[in-house]
A and B are shown apart, each in its own frame.
Chain A
Amino acid sequence: MAEQKVKGKIVIDTERCKGCGLCVEVCPNQRIEIADTLNKKGYYPGRFKENPKKGEKGCTGCAQCALVCPEVAIEVYRAK
């Protein structure tokens, strides 16, 4: 499978995340989902879908997720 050049990536601090789901809502390319395993606080945290499948768009580093994250749990990186 050919790897797309993905412009951006995020790192979610899953122990900080409270599973509010706002990031999932605002990501324009649906790169975030709610995990099915609990974190230590008992929340289902967000999970970054790093590798886009065929036909999907990858993370652009737009940082909208981080903008809405109430816990400052997301760091955003863009390709230089």
Chain B
Amino acid sequence: MNAELAYKKVFGRPESLKDAHTHYCPGCGHSIAHRLVAECLDELGLREKTIGVPPVGCAVLAYNYFNFDMVEAPHGRALAVATGIKRVEPDKFVLTYQGDGDLAAIGTAETIHAANRGEEISTIFINNAIYGMTGGQMAPTTLVGQDATTSPGGRVPKLHGRPIDISRMIAICEGTVYVERCAISSIKNIRRAKKAIKKSFQCQLDGLGFSMVELLSPCPTNWKLTPKDAWAWINDVMVKTYPLGVIKDSTGYEDKK
């Protein structure tokens, strides 16, 4: 170390994240997403009034990593549980953190109706196009041709239907004020994702309605790619089915670039 210079810390663990080592795979998008959520909560001073609802999925143990109150929900029901919490404690900050099966398969009804009612909740939707925790089955967001254990040889539209675009579906609801799709697949995308998450949190603070940030997220283990190649797969392949960008924005906020 250069003895003459004094250093100040410019990056460290946010307070909304516990010191625990995660069980996530190397290169998993969850860990980065957790950190972005935690950073936004810290920056907005929300940790002590946050109540979160984790999914059933790889992030089922999120309460071991996030440093705020959390309650487990049955698979898919996070937005119904969050609705109950927010209505009873409207001055608390309520968020759900869900995967593609939780939010867009078993939880589809709860997701759409929470959005439709305009519940003042922020939802982080981790879309990794596969069911991670249970070992790589097809998700509603698995791409056509993408291999999964329950669509061996690749997803076939005639047999399996096409990947669902839940973000566009909930954007139709008037109660939804902001939906953006970002990705955890490059420095630029991670920075954009953080801005989107912060904006979604601001929507709740201003009482505007329901907002969601979809994060295309790498799953190196079940995609059978290295973390670096998983990023490339998102950037080159996944965004063709799930293009990044703002899907709905009726917040009226100016976009700070």
Contacts and interface: CB of A to CB of B under 8 A. Distances in A.
8 contacts: A20-B26, A22-B227, A63-B10, A68-B32, A69-B32, A71-B31, A72-B17, A76-B9
A36 interface: no
Interface residues of B, number: 33
B1 A9 contact: yes
B166 interface: no
B226 interface: yes
A46 to B, nearest CB: 11
Given A64-B187, A72-B13, A72-B17, A80 B7 contact: yes
B71 interface: no
Contact of A71 (B11, B12, B22, B191): B22
- Size category of the A interface is 20 to 34
B190 interface: yes
B209 to A, nearest CB: 30
A67 B176 CA distance: 30
B47 to A, nearest CB: 16
Contact of A25 (B7, B13, B228): B228
B25 interface: yes
A72 B31 contact: yes
B2 interface: yes
Interface in B16-65: 17, 21-22, 24-32, 35
B187 A79 contact: no
A18 B221 CA distance: 13
Interface string A1-30: 001011011000001101111100110000
A17 to B, nearest CB: 9
Given A16-B21, A25-B228, A75 B12 contact: yes
The 10 tightest CB contacts between A and B, nearest first, are: A70-B31, A18-B26, A20-B27, A77-B7, A76-B11, A20-B26, A20-B227, A66-B11, A79-B5, A63-B11
